[in-house]
Amino acid sequence: MFISNAYAQTAGAADPGLMGNLTTFAPLILMFVVMYFLMIRPQQKRQKELKTMMDALAKGDEVITVGGMLGRVIKVTDTYVTVEVAAGTEVVVQKNAVTALLPKGTLKSL
């Protein structure tokens, strides 16, 4: 009628070669590089700083725990830290529960 039949051509398509494959994966590679510098690398740096802080904990340091308790370190072992949160009140926590060191003299009430 009015519409003619369309037939597929028998000749093969040209091979895109190496450049075609590279441009296909370029956005994926670029996304991974951006994710590495924006997410993975800062997280690794933060973990390294926390590990250094935990290894440097010493008696007399003033710390903040994960639960928000402020206290002074009175005893340090390999995996646990004893923190004095009030006069005569001691709490034993894991080293990884300590989130930050406070400057000396921050806690005056203990």
Residue type present at position 65 = T
pTM for the full model? 0.65
* Domain 58-102 -> CATH class: mainly beta
| Contact (Cβ atoms closer than 8 angstroms) between residue 83 and residue 94 | no
What gap in Å lies between CA 1 and CA 35, rounded to an integer? Answer: 57
Domain ranges of the chain: 17-56, 58-102
pLDDT in tens, the chain (110 residues): 678 887 777 655 555 666 777 788 888 999 999 999 999 999 999 999 999 999 999 999 999 999 999 999 999 999 999 999 999 999 999 999 999 999 988 888 66
Name the β-bridge partners of 72.
62, 84
What does the alpha-carbon distance between residue 110 and residue 29 come to, in Å, rounded to a whole number?
A: 54
